[in-house]
Structure 1
Amino acid sequence: MDELNGQPADAGAVRALALANYGHFTTFRVDDGRVRGLALHLERLERDCRAVFGADLDTARVRAYVRHALRERGGDSPLVRVSVFDPGLDIGRPASAGEPHVLVTTRPGAPAGLPPLRVGTVPYVRDLAAVKHVGLFGALHARRRAQLDGYDDALFHGPDGRVTEGPTWNAGFVDGEGRVVLPEGDVLPGVTLELIRRQYACVARPVTVAEARGMRAGFATSTGIGVRALASVDGRPLATDDPVLGALRETYERVPGDPL
């Protein structure tokens, strides 16, 4: 059951989130009561709460709400989404919003061994790219466009022709020399990619659409999928069994979880 401030959430309580779509969130996987990069997720919530609401967020309270929701759920290792929004938001005066509430939702994690993604490049730049906000319409519409064109997902690029990220994941590539290349640009700083970057040598630089198509390998990262290979970019095949991809997966899997 979804919980708002530690209590069962009903439709009326989350009406503002559904109608105004103004807020922010983070998502993480919980395994045996532990979360990879928990401190980074909590820092994101604090940072984004100040950016979106101009308010401080009590992350100890957030952790207590998550623990309570997990006790009520029981069972498997779920994905937990913590959404922060103001139920009293007036869309005519969003500047008055400043009493953030915490909604905790849980769902099953993705199965292991997901197939590589065939991605198509789509022009799109997220609003406030550094904030993990709930405004997903543009990103999901771009994903829909890519899927209607026969791909599994979208890979965004800006007006400058440089690739950035996917709708709900960060992107990376392996060049011809075996280096891990992370596209520079206006992207959401993902926790999974940051955990890998701290352990594995990576190069951050601009990557054009043409360069992305010609890379040796590519990958997507997020809490829900870990490291997932890209099968192709705009129909141009990439190696899905590259040893660097295996090394990246092992690097991420070795990251210890922090207790909730």
Structure 2
Amino acid sequence: MLAYSAGMLYVEINGAAPSIADLHRVAVVNYGHFTSMQVRENRVRGLDLHLRRLDDASKELFTATPGTDRVRSLLRQALDHGPGDVSARISVFARSGDISVPTPDVDLAVMVSLSDPVPETPQTPWSVCSIPYLRESAHLKHAATMGLIRARRAARSQGFDDAVFIGPDGLILEGSIWNLGLWDGETVTWPQGPKLPGVTEQLLTMGLHRIGVRTRTRPVVAQDLAHYQAAFASYSWCPAQPLASLDDVSFANPPAAFTMLEKAWDSVPWETV
């Protein structure tokens, strides 16, 4: 088990210890995609959605796929070497060859990384700011993360906790590594536009419908924010992290709204890997 200062780290590529050549390929070729999830007692919420995300993105980026059965098997194998509760990241990349040549004959590799689990408990409400930015191929959870990291750094240099991206047309899109949810007292709204359809967002939407709460996806601009009582970030670490403010708009965040979100999330079933 490889170790780093924050705790445990275990990595396998195609079910084996990574070679220097494999790690060099991952480090210098910024073309691939991944998904991240929390594992508890070898179970995952939305595992089928994570596997489908990897399959769809592989077809789009590589015209090939490692196969969901293989990916699931490799995750299960890696979990046998670690504790039952971990944070897992599954990455897909081309192990060799010229990836600028579009061909289905590609040597796809699956890297499974396990690290310390992250509690789903929300942190102190975040203050976030808007930054003009549109991720390339925003519907994919791809490895090209420089832009979003620069946005987060810019936000934090101004004293904020994180950044929300605004597109060139003024639409509020998504957070740096999370989806934005808004509550008006009756309905949860997810901003519409070029963004990543997060697995946690999808699962929380299903859970809200299960408990009888309406959701919608619609365009949101800055002028709309004052109409919402609560705002939250939704991602693999936390389904509903409260936002205290976005730019100069503050949110009341009534406790009942987050009790509702917690109830919806608790209704999402676990799947055994």
TM-score by length of 1: 0.93
Secondary structure at the counterpart of residue 133 of structure 1: coil
Aligned to 2:205: 197
Segment of structure 1 superposing worse, 128-137 or 104-113: 104-113
Q: Decide whether aligned partners of structure 1 residues 213 and 146 sit closer, same or farther in structure 2, where only a CA change above 3 A counts.
A: farther
Aligned to 2:260: 247
Counterpart residue type for residue 103 of structure 1: M
- 2:217 is aligned with 1:217: no
Check whether the contact 2:11–2:17 (CA below 8 A) recurs between aligned residues. Answer: yes
Secondary structure at the counterpart of residue 30 of structure 1: strand
Check whether the contact 1:121–1:209 (CA below 8 A) recurs between aligned residues. Answer: no
The structure carrying a bigger strand percent of its residues is 2
How far apart are residue 206 of structure 1 and its match?
Answer: 0.6
Q: Which runs of 5+ in 2 are unaligned?
A: 1-9, 209-213
Check whether the contact 1:214–1:236 (CA below 8 A) recurs between aligned residues. Answer: no
Check whether the contact 2:152–2:163 (CA below 8 A) recurs between aligned residues. Answer: yes
Q: Decide whether aligned partners of structure 1 residues 209 and 63 sit closer, same or farther in structure 2, where only a CA change above 3 A counts.
A: same
Check whether the contact 1:41–1:191 (CA below 8 A) recurs between aligned residues. Answer: yes
- 2:124 is aligned with 1:127: no
Write the distance in 1 (CA, Å) between the matches of 2:261 and 2:101.
42
Aligned to 1:95: 102
Structure 1 residues 72-109: Cα deviation after superposition (integer angstroms, max 9, x where no partner): 1225x111000000121436x34357221000001112
Check whether the contact 1:23–1:134 (CA below 8 A) recurs between aligned residues. Answer: yes
Match of 2:71 among 62, 77, 80: 62
Query: Which residues in structure 2 correspond to 1:38-187 (within 5 Å)?
Result: 38-74=47-83, 77-90=85-98, 93-96=100-103, 98-111=106-119, 112-175=121-184, 177-187=185-195
Segment of structure 1 superposing worse, 237-246 or 199-208: 237-246
Q: Which runs of 5+ in 1 are unaligned?
A: none
Tell me the percent identity: 35
Aligned to 1:15: 24
Check whether the contact 1:227–1:248 (CA below 8 A) recurs between aligned residues. Answer: yes
Secondary structure at the counterpart of residue 27 of structure 2: helix
Structure 1 residues 42-89: Cα deviation after superposition (integer angstroms, max 9, x where no partner): 1101000001100022111111111111111225x1110000001214
Counterpart residue type for residue 246 of structure 1: T
